[in-house]
Chains A and B, each alone.
Chain A
């Protein structure tokens, strides 16, 4: 047994800051905070809608405030990062047999991106015609 074992120092709370790969990992994990905050805001909106026209009107006014716009801009960025990081690993979770091998990963990722685009378009168009 070595009398002076090498102990690599790993700072518990800042370890991910010294490597781009770790930073991207943490950014991916932190996307959940913005998803949760957005959903909480949406639920508050549902409550305001339930309370009546005046409550809803003040909620809408809040959504137009610079702070709300800034939050949603940042949340939109994190939500997109969540989506791309999630779809990019789908081949790891889905192994679809095809002939002697499997459906190539690129096809699976591509299908997810296609569906993402279609779903987004439906939501935006739905809002436009509503």
Chain B
């Protein structure tokens, strides 16, 4: 049987799609809307609270998992969707989308480990 990287690519895509479906709507609601609009009070995401929260190793691992898998999911889906928008240069698109996901994954890893 010919070797293919499709199962890995697809497995990660599906994992990212599932995890992001469960948690990203609530994350956006909290970090992008409720907290900035002051629903949880003035210091809901204060520096002290956030550094304490991210000081926990379980939080670090879970957050990194969510961020990296979601970025991968989005990159892979956008690569396929680019074709539907009439863009036929798959190689360039693949480099761009996977590069974006990879770059932000590495930055996230360094930042989370340093906090």
Contacts and interface: CB of A to CB of B under 8 A. Distances in A.
A69 interface: yes
14 contacts: A29-B77, A43-B104, A46-B111, A56-B50, A60-B45, A68-B36, A79-B20, A93-B14, A123-B23, A123-B30, A124-B26, A127-B34, A128-B40, A130-B49
Which of A39, A80, A87, A130 has the most chain B CB atoms closer than 10 A to its own CB? Answer: A39
B107 A119 contact: no
Interface of A is mostly: helix
B108 interface: yes
Given A49-B54, A60-B36, A121-B26, 11 more contacts: A16-B84, A30-B81, A32-B78, A35-B70, A36-B100, A43-B67, A63-B31, A73-B32, A116-B25, A123-B30, A128-B40
Interface of B is mostly: helix
Interface of B: 14, 17-18, 20-37, 40, 44-45, 47, 49-51, 53-54, 67, 70-71, 73-75, 77-78, 80-81, 84-86, 100-101, 104, 107-108, 111-112, 114-115
B60 to A, nearest CB: 10
Contacts of B31: 42, 45, 63, 72
Interface residues of A, number: 51
